[in-house]
Structures are given as C-alpha cells and as structure tokens.
Amino acid sequence: MREEVKTRIPKEVPREKAFYFFTSIGNYTGKSASSLEEFMEKLMEVNTKSLEFHFYREDFEKWFIEVLQDQELAEEFRKLYALKLTGEPLRNQLYKTVETHLKHLTTS
Amino acid sequence: MKVRNNAFSLDSTDLKILEALQEDARQTYTTIGKRLGIAHSTVYDRVKRMENYGIIKSYKALIDAEKAGVKQVTAIMVIYTDPKESEKVAEKLCECLNVLEVYTSLSEELQVIAKVVAESQESLHEFIAKSIAPLPGVLRIRTSMVTKKFKESQPIIVNNPRKLTVAKEKEDGKRKKT
C-alpha cells in the first residue's frame, strides 16, 4: 500500500499545478511548492495567517488529493480539524504531520 | 487646435465630433452636424475617416451590471513582478476576458495593475491562484475588493481645455454650497 502511494505521488508537479500560498482571497505571498518536500519547507517559511487561511478552507487537502493523489495525507490533515489550532501550534502540527508522512513513505 | 496622429492630424472639427460622440454615440450625423454648424455628410466623412484610422475604436453600451441584476465582484489587483517579465505578465492578463483594464506602474517596484471581475470571491480566488500566480515573473499579489463604485467613465477628449476648468469650478461651487 505504502509502496503504491510512494510511486503514485509525483516527485515534482508542473508550475501550474503547484500550491500557491495566499494570506486571503487574492493576496499571494510569492511562495509556492511543486513537491511534497518543498511544501514541507514552505510550511516553515510562510506567515501563519496563510496556513490558517488554507487549512480551514481545506485547500491543502484538495491539493493532496487532486494534484498529488495522496489520500492518506489528506486524511491525516482532516484529523487535525478537531484540534482547532491556529498560529505557531498549527504550523508545527502541519509540519510534523507531513514530516511523519514523508518518513513513512521513504522508509517503507 | 490640431492634434497629430501617426497618419493625419485631427482639427478642431474632428475633436468636436469626437466630443459629441463621447457624450452620445447614438445621435445621428444630422444632429451632430446641426450642433456644430456643418453638413451631415461632412460629419459622416470625418467619422468614417476616424474609424478607418482606429481613432474611433468601437461603439459600445455602458451597462450598469448592478441594475442589470448581474452579481459580480470587482477587484483591483496589484501584481509585483520581476522587471524582465512584467510586459509578458501584462500581455497575458490582457488575454483574460474577466480582466477589464491592465496597466504597468513603476513605484519602488515594478507593478502590473489590473481591474478584474468575477462571479464571486471564490471564483476570483481560483482565477488568481490558477491563472495569475503561476505566471513566470509574478513575485506576489495584493488584491483589493471594490465595495462601492463612486464613478466610472471613459476618458474624454476635450476639445477646449477651458471646459475642464469650468466643469471643475462648477463642481467646486456645488460642494461649497452644500
């Protein structure tokens, strides 16, 4: 199963399919991610306002499913809604979730 | 007064015709001719010539979308760009039907400014995220939603610059009275 997910997730997506970080409607931060690794890096760089904006609009999940075809990570993110996190705790939790997911993918 | 174009110069009669058409493009050549004291055939010839040279680009209806019941959001986008790519970004924006106006501006950074309309805030966001942000050279974007429109008009070619002053004086006079 892990192997299947690992091979299915694209290493890098084309520019038009990258994730673009906004802080609100129409306000683009200038940061984007074309792979899951890059996404994880950008989670630590962007303003927490941007993370809150996308997280509660479910934009991250949509990107994982529609572009990366990674249902598992989307499911992991869904579980976090109940925690109602904001600010730095949200950033840390999102980072930890992606990091753990990537570790699973690479070690399986 | 003469205004030179690439191909020919506009004289004061041409400018008066343009002014009349900008006030009301549906009025007949006869009406314009009477107003300016010239034959309708002269008006016709001059209008055709200005159409042929692209001075008169088109005749359109100005529609009040709100009154027509069209629900849409209008926004002003300021796109900060890499100077090498700004022209291309502006050209790409011009290809989008929902982008109404595109300008470049130089302040501290090079910017492309655009007026854009969309069905909803969500579709506006989708458009910016999927069509504008991925363009090469786009550094960041600031968007302001229009909440109320106070004035919208086309640029007017004024035959007599004095008119602008008079119009402004009238306007100022009204403001002082109120």
Return averaged pLDDT per consecutive 10 residues of chain A, 108 residues in all.
59 91 96 95 97 96 94 95 94 96 82
Burial bucket for residue B98 (CB in 10 Å: 0-12, 13-18, 19+): middle
> Hey, where are the domains in chain B?
1-60, 73-145
| List of chain A residues whose C-beta atoms are within 8 Å of the C-beta of residue B81 | none
Tokens of A91: 């950033």
Q: According to the model, what pLDDT value does residue B7 have?
A: 57
Fold assignment, B73-145: Alpha-Beta Plaits (3.30.70)
Q: Which CATH architecture describes the domain B1-60?
A: Orthogonal Bundle (1.10)
A95 in Cβ contact with A41 (< 8 Å): no
Cα–Cα distances in angstroms (integers) from residue A93 to residues A31, A63, B8, B81, in the given order:
20, 18, 69, 33
**Nearest one of A4, A5, A18, A3 to A76, comparing CA atoms:** A5
| CA A32 – CA B111 distance, rounded (Å) | 20
- Give the ipTM of the model, two decimals please: 0.84
- How far apart (Å, rounded) are the C-alpha atoms in residues B78 and B76? 7
- Condensed to tens digits (0 to 9), the pLDDT of residues A26-57 reads 999 999 999 999 999 999 999 999 999 999 99
Provide, as residue numbers in chain B, all residues whose Cβ is less than 8 Å from the Cβ of A20.
129, 133-134
- What 3-state DSSP class applies to B30? helix
Comparing alpha-carbon positions, the chain A residue that sits nearest to B116 is A26
> Which of B82, B115, B128, B146 should be substituted to probe chain A, the one whose Cβ sees the most A Cβ atoms within 10 Å?
B128
This prediction has a pTM of 0.75
% of chain B with per-residue pLDDT over 90: 61
Of B33 and B162, more confident: B33
Residue A33: what pLDDT?
96
What type of residue sits at position B31?
Answer: T
Distance to chain B for A28, nearest Cα, Å:
5
Q: Enumerate the residues of chain A whose CB falls inside 8 A of the CB of residue B124.
A: 25-26
